[in-house]
Amino acid sequence: MSIDTLYLPFARSCRGRVTLPGSKSIANRALLLAALAHGETRLENMLLSEDTQRMREALELLGVSIQVIEEATSVRVQGNAGLFQKAQPETLFLGNAGTAMRPLAAILAGSTGDFTLTGEPRMYERPIGPQINALRQMGAAVEYLGDAGFPPLRIQGKPLTGGYIELDGSLSSQYVSAILMLLPLLTHDSELRLTGDIVSAPYINLTIAMMRSFGVEVSTQAVGHYSVRGGQQYQSPGVYWIEGDASSASYFLAAAAIGGGPVTVEGVGSASLQGDKAFAEVLAAMGADVTYHERSITVQAGMDLVGGDFDLNAIPDAAMTIATTVLFANGSTRIRNIYNWRLKETDRLHAMATELRKTGATVEEGEDFICITPPSELKHAQIATYDDHRMAMCFSLLTFAPCGVTIEDPECCRKTFPHYFALFQSLLKNAT
């Protein structure tokens, strides 16, 4: 079977402005919160991608009216005014969208009906056990239809009361966000306490901030300890603007640090809810010039880039971009506390180590870290992308190597950023 490829030739520089598509993490949370809310919500800057399409299809099967307006950059969601009720069994196909599978599994456990959640084969390799354990503490009836601890799931939804819940927060912040979004809709007050080392904590804070925008409060007692009053109801804010995707911003900002710039990304800045805005701080630590504005970030090359030792547990998606950026930096780089990479669309730690070695880099792959030493001269490589959008996008930075790069299956970017390569190459065409 032939593999579609994209060859990116050597680009000496880049510059320009990029308007980012909406954040996948925010878009799918916003769709669900709007569906649960009282009233109609208009969601602006909606991301058009596979993952958000899976969420929209699922919500429509659950009876939610979603109307696309203004060339699909905005959608109008008629809220359900609470949890769902379905008289007939419903099967929801969620592809490989963790931002749909995890929160829907929680919400449907507290709804009324018989629900089956399915997905692509890779979804059946992505663990959900800690979240299901937490739901079962509340009395939820969830059955694994395949391997224990993994989708697909059968959920016999019923009213849940809440109470005291413990949840392992060391594998995915999506488990935490999913449980938090459910708790205010239950009849009793709840206390959620996380165990283990909390991964991607900024995404939990993002969820809490979004819940507040929809009229619901979560009290943070301490790190990893939350109190949620039961009997609350989500209320439509009328219009909710979806920030640009901060993880997607990383590719353009890194390109500027390598290729000179300046490049400005619009849609994410100092006021962003997303923790991945801190990616630019890592670039600054490596030697790039970074300027923050409220809704934009500008990067240009400063001094020569240098490697370093970075704990990037809080920004695991954007951290992948650092792994390719450091091929253009002096010295070795260690990226640590990133076990979470192994639980994503593919085992990203192993995939990244494998593909980086093709460029001539020396790579050490640990259980939760990767150490990268760039070669004296990068070699041309044909990069396998493992049906993982972020693998394709972060390796596009090798266009700044004289040998260029070939990317396999560039269309895998449709998951979150269908027009990525056209936009990326437009910055290169504008280079002087």
Binding-site residue set for phosphoenolpyruvate? 24, 98, 126, 174, 348, 390, 415
Residues 6+ apart with CB under 8 A from 288: 253, 256, 257, 280, 299, 300, 301, 302, 305
Residues 6+ apart with CB under 8 A from 32: 55, 59, 103, 104, 107, 181
In the sheet that 14-19 helps form, which strands lie side by side, from edge to edge?
14-19, 260-266, 296-300, 289-293
Alpha-carbon distance of 161 to 171, in angstroms, equals 26
H or E stretch at 371:
strand 369-373
Residues 6+ apart with CB under 8 A from 57: 92, 93
Tokens of 367: 């259980």
- Coil, strand or helix: which one is 129? helix
Q: How crowded is residue 387: how many other Cβ atoms within 10 Å of its Cβ?
A: 18
Q: Are 199 and 340 in contact (CB under 8 A)?
A: yes
Q: What is the Cα gyration radius of the chain?
A: 21
Alpha-carbon distance of 116 to 121, in angstroms, equals 15
Q: Per the omega criterion (within 30 degrees of 0), is the bond before 262 cis?
A: yes
Tokens of 170: 């060391």
Give the residue numbers of the binding site for 3-phosphoshikimate. 24-25, 29, 172-174, 200, 317, 340, 344
For 206-223, the DSSP string reads HHHHHHHHTT---EEEET
* Side-chain half-sphere CA neighbours of 420 within 13 A: 31
Looking at the annotation, which residues are catalytic?
Answer: 317
Alpha-carbon distance of 429 to 395, in angstroms, equals 18
Q: Which residue has the tokens 């990067």?
A: 299
Q: Let me know if 124 is exposed, middle or buried by CB neighbors in 10 A (0-12, 13-18, 19+).
A: middle
